[in-house]
Amino acid sequence: MNRRAALATIAAVAATPTLARADALPGRTFAPSLPSAPFPHASRANGHDYDKVHYAAATAYADSTVGIYVPTTFSAGKSVDAIVHFHGWNNHVDEVFRRYRLREQVEASGVNAILIVPQGPKDAPDSNDGKLELDQGGLARLLADVVA
């Protein structure tokens, strides 16, 4: 598939209003709990306050899920390319996959890369990325865990 056709396919997939279920996708979706995920992290051990609302550590900063999508086009080699998506405020991995159709776009693109969506603050208005932002080598550890 040439670049123009791939971009057209990605645009069409992104514009489609209904989400294909993960089991209908030809690639494989995983959602493991990884020790290198952004949370839990000491920076949010007591939760976080924003706009006079408290977001508890147990609900917003305890999920260590990392969404991973391996497209059918992926072929393991000496190195692994990764696309890492950091979701925004008031969001979570399942919603990111559903709303932005990232898996479908990666699949349609034909790229030889793994999609990684680490769970940030879950459904909280916060930009903190815990271990990935504040711990030396945090992203490298996450990538190593996913590849392993």
* Cα–Cα distance measured from residue 123 to residue 63, given in angstroms and rounded to the nearest whole number: 11
Contact 115, 101 (CB under 8 A): no
* Cα–Cα distance measured from residue 15 to residue 13, given in angstroms and rounded to the nearest whole number: 5
Q: How many helices (H) and strands (E) does the chain have?
A: 6, 6
pLDDT score at 4: 59
Say yes or no to pLDDT of 9 above 90: no
Q: What is the pTM of this model?
A: 0.84
* Beta strands across the sheet bearing 113-118: 28-30, 66-70, 113-118, 81-84
The residue range of the domain holding 95 is 3-147
pLDDT score at 12: 44
Listed range (23-27, 49-53, 119-123) with the worst mean pLDDT: 23-27
Tally of domains within the chain: 1
**Mean per-residue pLDDT over the chain, rounded:** 88
pLDDT classification of 105: cutoffs 50, 70, 90: very high
Residue with tokens 């969404």: 67
* Cα–Cα distance measured from residue 16 to residue 13, given in angstroms and rounded to the nearest whole number: 5
Residue with tokens 């916060």: 126
